[in-house]
Amino acid sequence: MNAIITASELASELAGERPPVVLDIRWQLSLAKAAGAPEFDGRAAYAAGHIPGAVFVDLNQELAGKAGPEAGRHPLPDLAVFGAAMRAAGVSADRDVVVYDGGQGWAAARAWWLLRWTGHPSVRVLDGGLPAWEGPTETASPAPHPGTFDPAPGATGLLDADEAAALARSGLLLDARAAERYRGDVEPIDRVGGHIPGAVSAPTTENVTDDGRFRPAADLAERFTSLGATGDPGQVGVYCGSGVSGAHEVLALAVAGIDAQLYVGSWSQWSADTARPVATGPDPQ
Residues 183 and 86 in one domain: no
Neighbours of 283 (CB within 10 A): 10
Q: Within 13 Å and on the Cβ side, how many CA atoms surround 226?
A: 8
pLDDT in tens, 86-131: 999 999 999 999 999 999 999 999 999 999 999 999 999 999 999 9
pLDDT, averaged across the chain: 95
Is 212 tagged catalytic? Answer: no
Residues 116 and 164 in one domain: no
pLDDT in tens, 28-77: 876 544 455 567 899 999 999 999 999 999 999 999 999 998 999 999 99
From 7, 240, 258, 272, the catalytic residue: 240
Q: Residue range 241-266: average pLDDT?
A: 97
Identify whether 151 is part of a domain. no
Identify whether 205 is part of a domain. yes
What is the CA 72 to chain-centroid distance, rounded? Answer: 15
Which of the listed residues 97, 132, 167 is the one where a domain comes to its end? 132
Residues 103 and 189 in one domain: no
The pLDDT of residue 146 is above 80: yes
CATH code for position 208: 3.40.250.10
Domain that holds residue 175: 158-270
Instruction: Name 72's bridge partners.
Output: 68
Q: pLDDT value at position 134?
A: 95
Q: Residue range 6-34: average pLDDT?
A: 88
Which of the listed residues 117, 132, 147 is the one where a domain comes to its end? 132
Residues 116 and 14 in one domain: yes
The pLDDT of residue 133 is above 90: yes
Residues 49 and 116 in one domain: yes
Which of the listed residues 132, 149, 170 is the one where a domain comes to its end? 132
The pLDDT of residue 282 is above 90: yes
Residues 112 and 14 in one domain: yes
Q: What is the enclosing helix (H) or strand (E) of 181?
A: helix 179-183
Residues 216 and 253 in one domain: yes
Residues 105 and 162 in one domain: no
How many structural domains is the chain composed of? 2
Q: What pTM was computed for the model?
A: 0.95
Does residue 257 contact residue 217 with C-beta atoms inside 8 Å? Answer: yes
Q: pLDDT value at position 176?
A: 98
